[in-house]
Structure 1
Amino acid sequence: MQKISLFFLLVSVFFISCSDDYEEHEIGEDLVDNSTDVRLIDTFTIYASTVILDSIATSDADVMTVGRYVDPYLGTVTSNGFTKIGLGGSFDLEANDDPVYDSIVFVTYYDEDYYGDTTVSQTLNLYRVTEEMELEEDESGNEYLYNVSSFEIDTVPLGSKTFTARPMRTSDSGDEYNFRMNLSDEFGQELIDMAIDHDETLQASAEWENYLEGVSLRPAVDDDATILNFQTSNDTLMYIRLYYHETSTTTDSDEVLYHDFPIGSSSYVFSNYQSDRTGTPLEKLVEQKYDLSSEDAGQRTFIQGGIGLMTKLIIPYIENLSTLGLAGSLLKAKLIFYPAIGSYDDDLYPLPDSFNLYTCDDYNDIESALYSSSGAALTSVFYEDEEYGEESYFTFDVTSHFNDVLTDGDDDTNTLLISLESSSLSNSTDRMVLTNDKATDFEFKIEATYVVQDEE
């Protein structure tokens, strides 16, 4: 039939080939002699690469992310937590009560999310921040701290703990399990002495902040274990607790007394992420304006939270679908992408639950999120190959986006970024390795179902 030859001629200008899977429907025998073809087009040209964001806001989060592990694809990944410590109200002690210092501890609570190997022993250290912690203002006038923000710390830690993490463990009452670290007795005794002397440092928040600007929780420099999340949504979930008792004859010497110094404003609770990618395909990826093509990275692209790795896709020729036939309509379009076989498992390197999709400009700056026809932010769906585990894939329904491109005729929106969902992007090191091997079926692809109406 002549119309089929014309269809293939048009498609070949923009696509490599066209699927033979189509259905032809005749429209009314007593009307104009025309027909409608429903075709599945699955050979769009797609250019895939990896980019890295210059910065990601990580403050104002409900968790602090801390730890270090060595990733077989992404190198050494480290996360250091920072926070201010509040005064928790004025703290005074009376010398006549004979107060005696007992101990001082840093207390926080695990969040169930983690990344890495919890069977391996690891060490966390708490350091005193020695530099003023200041927020950074963005172009819109909002103030944040970022994954690349950092402040000077003391050379000697206030405390250290070596342990095996149990983030899923709960107490006998069913509550989340807390993490406790003993701090320096010298530090604790100094606070008791100031309280007895009615020192102004323990009377006003401004004076306290001059004394203790903040603290930083960070892993040992040679750890290869787990990235942990600690809860920070309120000041009962992270604090420094000073224990003491009073020995005068007028007080109960057996009573356990304490004062809590809680975490400060959430604006100053943030995580600093670092990645040493030496010896990996991503070693030269150092600035946001550069792309690392999948061909230069072993037919792979990468996504990682905290560090800010995203997969970039350029999909040219979308708008040319509208030139096929006298009239046409897009029924469905989906983006399909595959996790690299052997790059993930349920224990050490689990796949993220879902992803978001964004448009971006020529400098890889995010412009806007993609939304579904219902107005919700577009999220991916996972299809698991439960039998063999080799053909699992994620998919986005990009029908609405493709229709927008066809309506506007604008190819500036043909560049997309696949990212972790926003909360995971800023406060986790979740990652995925994606395969783009054009010699196999495991490559980025678009499947578009398009109706073409031609005249006989």
Structure 2
Amino acid sequence: MKHLLYGGLLLAALCLWACRDGNLGLGKSLVESSFYNVYVDTCTVDISTVKLDSIETGGDSVCQLGHYSDDVWGEVYSSYYAEYSVTNFTPSADNAYLLDSLVLRLIPLGHFWGDTLQEQRISIYQLRYPIVLDNDEELYNTTSQLLEETPLTTFTYLPRPGAKREVEVRLPDALGREFLEDIVAQDDRFNSQDNFKKYFPGLVFKAEADGGCITGFLVNDTAMSLNLYYREVAVESEEKSLTFSVNMDYAYTGIKQDCSDSPLSVVTGGLENLVHSTDMDNRAYMQGLTGYYNQLEFPYLNDLQSRGEIVSIEEAVLCLYSLAKSYNEVSQLPEDIRLYITDENNVLEDYVYGSDGVTVQTGDLVVDEMYGKETYYSFDLTEFIRNNFGTWGSKRQKLLMSMNDDDCATTFNQVVFTNEPGQDRQCRLKVRFKTYNEQ
């Protein structure tokens, strides 16, 4: 899985509230026995926050551009690095070719993180050298490149939630004329991709620090493209254009984050450095491109064995509550989060599936549109709890939780989970089980 997988200890004391459905006497003439249905509403959930060292963002059809800073996530810069594909063109010796403009075409997706009333400034730099893949032939949000000291141009835009109005940015005419003259002259630099990227390594879209929003942009054959507009002059003048598309194999979103003054300052990369929610004011954090996800365990699950001589799990539902007012018009909740089963060594074994055993659960999201206090995700963990009930140590499985791969690599969607001990709205495991006792 691309990037992931990889939670604070919301250690609330285990509170059991039993609801008995009556004494069912069976074989009373032989053995006095009783069956009971028992419901546990607040079985302790241990949720921790983890940070991925890196996320694979190469080749994605969405990029993020901008700068945003707040008290929770710190200061985040999102940039885009792109190599461009060479374009074939056969000029006519009888015609003249005149530059009109060299223009970048950007199409916002309407996705955003931050204040959409504040303009964002983006500077466009030329790469100093062609983009090189990392050792494993991938590109990540942490991959670094050298760029020229002076930007080719800088532009501003005002994010518009839900709108996909095209943005055009004109690059220097000197660069456009150089392109056109070399193409018309059939210079070797335009004969192959290798030659072209040595001549023109690509572009970097870098946010300036005065911005207050990060916006998603589409990337495809025409979006984020470099367009050379010119006139072909023969008997008559005709307007034409050449399109240089992003070479998706050598393009990626890069992230820089400074959370030294935020609650996340205690979280460093790697699953071995997970931080329990009790060490983070009873909260746990998940976000896409910055790489925060969660680990979950149920440390007191086996205490249920004390409820009877024989205990069988009938149903288990996990409810994870979002901190009230942690999402709004600035921050967007993920609609799809996944649970992954791991062994004691954190080796991934499988997804958590639905009751059909085939459909991957995505954390049924319930949103409290009025007050925001009753917003939560839920998972049916019946099978997982059955498999782990009565196990200890190396036999006990754990859960990792993150957004799906695409959202993790292309969005800043986020959720802050709350697990305040003794509060109604906290991460909890609801278990219904049967007990059998001899009298």
Q: TM-score scaled by structure 2? A: 0.88
How big is each residue's C-alpha offset from its partner over 1:410-443, in whole Å with a ceiling of 9 and x where there is no partner? 6554432331222211111111111121142232
Structure 2 alignment gaps of length 5 or more: 1-11
How big is each residue's C-alpha offset from its partner over 1:102-143, in whole Å with a ceiling of 9 and x where there is no partner? 1001113222322222221111222222233222354xxxx3
Q: Which residue is 1:5 aligned to?
A: none
1:307 aligned onto 2:301: no
Identity rate, percent: 26
Secondary structure class of the residue paired with 1:23? coil
CA distance in 2 between counterparts of 1:407 and 1:365 reads 21
1:154 aligned onto 2:148: yes
Q: Which residue is 1:63 aligned to?
A: 62
Alpha-carbon contact 2:130-2:197 (below 8 Å) kept: no
Deviation, structure 1 residue 243: 0.9
Q: Which amino acid aligns with 1:300?
A: R
Indicate how the Cα distance of structure 1 residues 46 and 212 shifts in structure 2: closer, same or farther if over 3 A, else same: same
Indicate how the Cα distance of structure 1 residues 137 and 333 shifts in structure 2: closer, same or farther if over 3 A, else same: farther
1:224 aligned onto 2:207: no
CA distance in 1 between counterparts of 2:23 and 2:57 reads 54
Secondary structure class of the residue paired with 1:372? coil
How big is each residue's C-alpha offset from its partner over 1:67-117, in whole Å with a ceiling of 9 and x where there is no partner? 21113311112211122200122x344464221111001113222322222
Deviation, structure 1 residue 383: 2.5
Secondary structure class of the residue paired with 1:144? coil
1:168 aligned onto 2:200: no
CA distance in 1 between counterparts of 2:373 and 2:381 reads 24
The equivalent position to 1:267 in structure 2, one of 245, 249, 260, is 249
Indicate how the Cα distance of structure 1 residues 167 and 252 shifts in structure 2: closer, same or farther if over 3 A, else same: farther
Q: TM-score scaled by structure 1? A: 0.85
Deviation, structure 1 residue 324: 5.0
1:112 aligned onto 2:110: yes
How big is each residue's C-alpha offset from its partner over 1:277-320, in whole Å with a ceiling of 9 and x where there is no partner? 02111113222131223233222111111011113223224356
Deviation, structure 1 residue 238: 3.0
CA distance in 2 between counterparts of 1:313 and 1:418 reads 8
Map 1:29-108 → 2, pairs under 5 A:
33-89=32-88, 91-94=89-92, 96-108=94-106
CA distance in 2 between counterparts of 1:441 and 1:292 reads 23
Q: Which amino acid aligns with 2:378?
A: T
1:424 aligned onto 2:407: yes
CA distance in 2 between counterparts of 1:277 and 1:364 reads 26
Map 1:370-385 → 2, pairs under 5 A:
370-374=352-356, 375-385=358-368
Q: Which amino acid aligns with 1:270?
A: Y
The equivalent position to 1:182 in structure 2, one of 170, 184, 187, is 170
Alpha-carbon contact 2:176-2:228 (below 8 Å) kept: yes
Secondary structure class of the residue paired with 1:136? coil
How big is each residue's C-alpha offset from its partner over 1:314-373, in whole Å with a ceiling of 9 and x where there is no partner? 32243564675343321111111211122111x111322131112356786766432233
Q: Which residue is 1:208 aligned to?
A: 196
Alpha-carbon contact 2:79-2:253 (below 8 Å) kept: yes
Secondary structure class of the residue paired with 1:194? helix
Q: Which amino acid aligns with 1:329?
A: S
1:331 aligned onto 2:314: yes
Secondary structure class of the residue paired with 1:400? helix
Indicate how the Cα distance of structure 1 residues 61 and 366 shifts in structure 2: closer, same or farther if over 3 A, else same: farther
1:18 aligned onto 2:25: no
Indicate how the Cα distance of structure 1 residues 17 and 440 shifts in structure 2: closer, same or farther if over 3 A, else same: closer
Q: Which residue is 1:252 aligned to?
A: 236
Structure 1 alignment gaps of length 5 or more: 1-13, 170-175
Deviation, structure 1 residue 28: 4.5
Secondary structure class of the residue paired with 1:268? strand
